[in-house]
Amino acid sequence: MPELKTSTAPAASSGFSIGSWQVHVANLFGTRHGALGASILLVLLLVAITAPLIAPYSPLEQTQASLAPPSSQFLFGTDNIGRDVFSLVVHGSRSSLMVGLGAALAALLIGGTLGILAGYFQGPVEAGLMRLVELFQTLPVIILVLCAVALFGSNFWLLIAAVALAIWPMEARLVYGQYIKLRDREFIAAARVADLSTAHIMFREILPNAIQPIIVQVALDASIAILIEAGLGFLGLSDPSKVSWGRLLFVAQDYMDSAWWMSLFPGAAICITVVGLNLFADGLNEVIDPRSTSGVGGLQ
Amino acid sequence: MLRFVGRRALLAIPLLLAIIILMFSMLHLIPGDPVQALVGDYPVPPAYRQAIETKYRLNDPFLVQVGNYLANVAQGDFGFSYQNQRNVLDLILERAPRTMLLASVSFALAIPLGMAIGIAAGTSRRPGVDKFWTTTALIVYAIPTFWLGQLLVMLLALRLGWFPTQGIGPLISRTQGFAWLLEKLRYLALPVLAFGIHEGMRIARIMRASVIDTLSQGYIITARAKGLSRGRIIRSHVMRNSSLPLVTIAGYAFGSALGGAVLLETVFTWPGLGLLLVDSIRLRDNMTVIGVVIFSALAVIAMNLIVDLLYAALDPRIRTTR
Amino acid sequence: MSLSPLLDVRDLKVHLRLGPNVVKAIDGVDFRIMPGECVGIVGESGSGKSTMARAITRLMPNVNIAELSGELSFEGQDILAMPDGALRALRRGRGFSMIFQDPLGYLNPTQRVGRQIEEALSCDSSRGSNRNRVHTLLDEVGLPDPANVARRYPHELSGGMRQRVMIAIALASDPQLLFADEPTTALDATVQLQVLQTLYRLHKERNMAMAIITHDLGVVAELCDRVYVMRAGKVIESAETVRLFEHPQQDYSRRLIELSTRRLPRELQA
């Protein structure tokens, strides 16, 4: 089909080079979801970095007014011991984002490494690692994290490690799947024939081709990590020395009848963050796989 | 087909064993006195300490301890909760039906809701309809169940007074028959709403993607060529075929929920397995923690087997090829 | 045979939007089928012949259509302007049907074959008589033991059997016109011939018009009265089959004939 083939070849179908980064970012902002998600994340990042400048009060400062409703003085009201909820929410972004990013990256490191190993070395290594993944996926994520916290306590860094421990199997599955898909392709075979080293094939030939869906998964992992951290906080099991949105909801649970603002604003902050990450991942997916949106949908 | 399911069941056994061993080993990683690690932070009378040491062979090599523990579990002995002064198994058996009730009713709401939204979004010829539901599902799914629960309590229970804020109602009720059922339903309503909406959105997202995949299949063209109406095509060709991936994911989610909807039960003080787990963790009642975790793994594994059966029932190709 | 054509297509254009480009898949095609006639449409893959069949039967997959225009009339009714309901009625009874290259993909894997045929029957009647009609159809398309075949799932049948099931589905609505899109391309050589023979028999027995879309002029030589040769979205030549083989007007047609003469002819019509 000469006509169809020449005119429809996608502009950037394969490969991933530094030069195409700008193209991808431009495309990401070209999709409605991607632009919105990326903007939300940028704003959140900015808030987290400049938290002390934005927050009118220190998160530990107890004002005279406890359980005061939202007003011009206290934008989001105050909590049971008179702390400014707005300042708390602003400062809470730090631990949420840190857990999200930290756990997702740690999961990528663990899952990615094991996935690569399983995908590259076939045979018993592959089988063993996949069994391990299955084992970890049998227990619900939240229960896994709770167990870890129950046994080892809720220090902030331990918490990140626990969340990472719970979500790495998803990452491992994805990386493994990508490797399986790519390892038999021609260009990998060509690299083998050219007698390139194993490490070179892994990191220079396979990784660049597998990276896009992995970035999407990292964004989704981060959203799951943030939800888990919020959940732990809500159960009162997060690090008590850190302000976190989940922990604010834990306190709010006892004041639902008198101070709705203590629940509404931290909860909304969690939602916005998670929506931002999901939109970002959606946009990224669209850029990677433009088919998903260009066609006409539905049942005719 | 029986052989296929039988083989899957055999594969599940080592998985369960591994989890039990893993949990028991984790207990040993807790620093400090092993007896205290098993019992929790309570002063333990010397006689009881002695009994624990003998029962769990704490002075024997690690492997003997693990084997011994496995033997106990195999006999249904999950240990004794010092905190509750009851057998862990009894505690679990008391709590499990409540969690099961909550999870079943929630999924009975979530599955039709999610499938309807997924099919509406996936089959609609107007892009606006698809966009609306996709965005709605994305945003609503991002709401944590426990916060959604709090919002519902504040609005529907505290502000409007339609539903009780928490609990499962009085254990001894003066009402009977239909009135009793109605009373129970009032307590069930809010947790089910929060859980059902959340899971419903998850199902909607999966269903939509699956419907779109199904619509690209040739047999949909055949169905159109037959002159079937849209409704008929959806009923007899889209729904069943699109449900296949849904079965796996919804099955896993349901299995996890059976193991304890931890956060949801905490919001509504619903005394199921999840609340038991959280309370035990707070009180460092580790015997109970391990018991609940093993039970929840069992629930997930059992659900996975049911998923395999359902899959085979829905897809004739699996019945004959494996 | 009446003198007015069963299907009359004038200046059909189908332009598809693919990313930033517009592809002229069909660019101004005239096309005619008389009642009870068998017509071949040949061309290499990508020449637009399948797209044309899909456009005429209004069975386009989900693609972004930039332009769809022309006159499409079936028994004097305008197909393009036809509302969904009337189109469905035409597909359900005495209208047109279509069979496809890949019968496995075009049969629902989770439904028994019998049910899929029953669904296509021109009008619903009692369950028992529907079953009889399904068995009659299966018998008519040359499948032995219809009762047994009807209970099978598509993956349990061979490629040839599946294509026969597809034909039975297409015949269930008693069509006056059958589009066959590469009906034998995916089949083994021996099975190909059997399926073609069956199609030819049904064409004659039912006095049903057929449009056979293929890249294989051998198939056309065996079955068709007239041929349209398509290339790059246009009909470049149309003639009686015998005329085309004896005096091709275009180099392209000549090349197609040369390519296929090695397998020619089996003289089915004799």
What are A190-211's pLDDT values in tens digits? 776 777 676 777 677 666 667 7
Query: What is d(CA C86, CA B229) in angstroms, rounded to the nearest whole number?
Result: 11
Residue C60: CB atoms within 10 Å: 17
Residue B4 lies in a domain: no
Residue B59 lies in a domain: no
A299 vs B322, more confident:
A299
Q: Which of A282, A255, A252 is nearest to A268 (CA)?
A: A252
- List, in order, residues 6 or more apart from B311 with CB less than 8 Å away: B244, B247, B248, B318
Which chains would you list as touching A if contact means 3+ CB atom pairs under 8 Å?
Answer: B, C
Residue C89: CB atoms within 10 Å: 14
* Amino acid A16: pLDDT: 42
User: What pairs with residue C18 in β-bridges?
Assistant: C21
Q: How many residues does chain C have?
A: 270
The helix/strand/coil state of C142 is: coil
Are C18 and A296 an interchain contact pair (Cβ–Cβ within 8 Å)?
A: no
Residue C256 lies in a domain: no
Are B222 and C169 an interchain contact pair (Cβ–Cβ within 8 Å)?
A: yes
C223 vs B44, more confident:
C223
Residues A243 and A137 sit within 8 Å (Cβ to Cβ): no
Does C21 lie at the interface with A, CB-CB under 8 angstroms?
yes
Range of the domain at B112: 89-321
Q: Residue type at B118?
A: G
> Sign of dihedral through CA atoms A118, A119, A123, A127?
positive
Least trusted range by pLDDT, from B125-129, B208-212, B236-240, C226-230: B125-129
Query: What is d(CA C144, CA A127) in angstroms, rounded to the nearest whole number?
Result: 46
Query: Quick one: how far is CA B207 from the chain centroid?
Result: 19
Residue C119 lies in a domain: yes
Segments in chain C forming alpha helices (H): 49-56, 84-92, 113-118, 127-140, 146-150, 159-171, 189-206, 217-223, 241-246, 251-260
Q: What percent of chain B has pLDDT over 90?
A: 16
B249 vs A25, more confident:
B249
* Amino acid B70: pLDDT: 85
* CB contacts < 8 A (B, C): 77
Query: What is d(CA C92, CA C74) in angstroms, rounded to the nearest whole number?
Result: 15
Least trusted range by pLDDT, from A91-100, A161-170, B6-15: B6-15
Query: What is d(CA A125, CA A63) in angstroms, rounded to the nearest whole number?
Result: 59
Tens-place pLDDT, residues A247-267: 888 887 887 778 788 788 888
Residue B136 lies in a domain: yes
Tens-place pLDDT, residues A109-143: 999 888 888 877 778 888 888 888 888 888 888 88
pLDDT-derived band at A19, boundaries 50, 70, 90: very low
Residues A80 and A67 sit within 8 Å (Cβ to Cβ): yes
Tens-place pLDDT, residues A33-43: 888 888 888 98
Residue B288 lies in a domain: yes
Helix axes B88-123, B177-215, angle to 10 degrees: 50
Q: Which of B102, B321, B123 is nearest to B204 (CA)?
A: B123
By CB atoms closer than 10 A (0-12, 13-18, 19+), residue A133 is: buried
Q: Which residues of B77-100 are buried (b: 16+ CB within 10 A; e: fewer)?
A: ebbbbbbbeebbbebbeebbebbe
Are B282 and A252 an interchain contact pair (Cβ–Cβ within 8 Å)?
A: no
Query: What is d(CA B221, CA A299) in angstroms, rounded to the nearest whole number?
Result: 10
pLDDT-derived band at C152, boundaries 50, 70, 90: very high
Query: What is d(CA B286, CA B25) in angstroms, rounded to the nearest whole number?
Result: 12
Query: What is d(CA B53, CA B47) in angstroms, rounded to the nearest whole number?
Result: 10
* Amino acid C1: pLDDT: 46
Residues 4 through 63 of chain A touching chain C, CB cutoff 8 Å: 4-5, 7-8, 10
* Amino acid A297: pLDDT: 67
**Predicted confidence (pLDDT) at residue C215 exceeds the cutoff of 70:** yes
**Predicted confidence (pLDDT) at residue B318 exceeds the cutoff of 90:** no
CATH code, domain with B262: 1.10.3720.10
DSSP states of A204-243 as a string? IIIHHHHHHHHHHHHHHHHHHHHHHHHHHHHTT-S-TTS-
Residue C49 lies in a domain: no
User: What pairs with residue C12 in β-bridges?
Assistant: C29
* Amino acid B322: pLDDT: 42
* Amino acid B186: pLDDT: 80
Q: Which of C72, C40, C42 is nearest to C57 (CA)?
A: C72
Q: Residue type at B198?
A: H
- List, in order, residues 6 or more apart from A195 with CB less than 8 Å away: none
Are C18 and A1 an interchain contact pair (Cβ–Cβ within 8 Å)?
A: no
How many distinct structural domains can be found in chain B?
1
What percent helix, strand, coil does chain A show, rounded to 5?
A: 75, 0, 25
Are C111 and B236 an interchain contact pair (Cβ–Cβ within 8 Å)?
A: yes
Highest mean pLDDT among B87-91, B180-184, B231-235: B231-235
pLDDT-derived band at C262, boundaries 50, 70, 90: low
* Residue in chain A nearest C65 by alpha carbon: A296
How many distinct structural domains can be found in chain C?
1
End-to-end CA distance of chain C: 22
Helix axes A18-30, A261-288, angle to 10 degrees: 120
Shortest CA gap B312–chain A (Å): 21
The CA-atom distances, in angstroms, between C167 and each of A270, C100, C175, C181, C197 are 57, 9, 11, 12, 13
**Predicted confidence (pLDDT) at residue A18 exceeds the cutoff of 50:** no
* Amino acid A260: pLDDT: 81
Residue B10 lies in a domain: no
pLDDT-derived band at A13, boundaries 50, 70, 90: very low
CA angle at residue C232 from C230 to C236, to 5 degrees? 40
Q: How many residues does chain A have?
A: 300
Least trusted range by pLDDT, from A278-282, B60-64, B300-304: B60-64
Least trusted range by pLDDT, from A10-14, A19-23, B209-213: A10-14
* Residue in chain C nearest A291 by alpha carbon: C19
Are A1 and C60 an interchain contact pair (Cβ–Cβ within 8 Å)?
A: no
Are A270 and B144 an interchain contact pair (Cβ–Cβ within 8 Å)?
A: yes
By CB atoms closer than 10 A (0-12, 13-18, 19+), residue B214 is: buried
Our CA dihedral for B231, B236, B239, B245, rounded to 10 degrees, sits at -160
Q: Which of C88, C97, C156 sits opposite B320 (nearest CB)?
A: C156
Tens-place pLDDT, residues C22-49: 888 888 889 899 998 999 998 887 788 8
The CA-atom distances, in angstroms, between A217 and each of A278, B142, B202, C111 are 10, 16, 17, 36
Residue C165 lies in a domain: yes
* Amino acid A24: pLDDT: 65
Residue B49 lies in a domain: no
**Predicted confidence (pLDDT) at residue A187 exceeds the cutoff of 80:** no
* CB contacts < 8 A (A, B): 136
Tens-place pLDDT, residues B283-297: 888 888 888 888 888
Tens-place pLDDT, residues C71-112: 888 888 888 888 888 888 888 888 899 999 888 899 999 999
CA angle at residue C52 from C173 to C90, to 5 degrees? 25
Helix axes A124-138, A85-120, angle to 10 degrees: 150
Residue B271: CB atoms within 10 Å: 17
Q: Which of A2, A3, A294 sits opposite C19 (nearest CB)?
A: A294
Are B263 and A231 an interchain contact pair (Cβ–Cβ within 8 Å)?
A: yes
Residue C85: CB atoms within 10 Å: 10
Tens-place pLDDT, residues C177-199: 999 998 888 888 888 888 888 99
- Work out the average pLDDT over C218-243: 87
Q: What is the largest CA-CA distance in chain B?
A: 82
Q: What percent of chain C has pLDDT over 90?
A: 27
Chain mean pLDDT for chain C: 85
* Amino acid A15: pLDDT: 40
Query: What is d(CA A57, CA A208) in angstroms, rounded to the nearest whole number?
Result: 46
Query: What is d(CA C47, CA C231) in angstroms, rounded to the nearest whole number?
Result: 5
Q: B8 is written with which tokens? A: 């899957």
* Residue in chain A nearest B304 by alpha carbon: A138
- List, in order, residues 6 or more apart from A216 with CB less than 8 Å away: A281, A284, A285, A288
Q: Which residues does A contribute to its contact with B (CB < 8 Å)?
A: 134-135, 138-140, 142-143, 146-147, 149-152, 223, 227, 230-231, 234-237, 249, 252-253, 256-257, 260, 263-264, 267, 270-271, 274-275, 278-279, 282, 297-300
pLDDT-derived band at A290, boundaries 50, 70, 90: low
End-to-end CA distance of chain B: 7
- Work out the average pLDDT over B76-98: 84
Tens-place pLDDT, residues B143-170: 888 888 888 887 877 777 787 777 776 6
C267 vs C57, more confident:
C57
- Work out the average pLDDT over B247-273: 86
Does C19 lie at the interface with A, CB-CB under 8 angstroms?
yes
Q: What percent of chain A has pLDDT over 90?
A: 4
By CB atoms closer than 10 A (0-12, 13-18, 19+), residue C158 is: exposed
By CB atoms closer than 10 A (0-12, 13-18, 19+), residue A154 is: buried
Entry pTM:
0.84
Q: Which residues does B contribute to its contact with C (CB < 8 Å)?
A: 215-219, 221-229, 236-237, 240-241, 314-317, 320-321
Residue B95 lies in a domain: yes
- Is the ipTM above a cut-off of 0.90? no
Residue B259 lies in a domain: yes
Query: What is d(CA B261, CA C89) in angstroms, rounded to the nearest whole number?
Result: 51
Q: In C, which residues are within 8 Å of B215 by CB distance?
A: 62
Query: What is d(CA C219, CA C199) in angstroms, rounded to the nearest whole number?
Result: 11
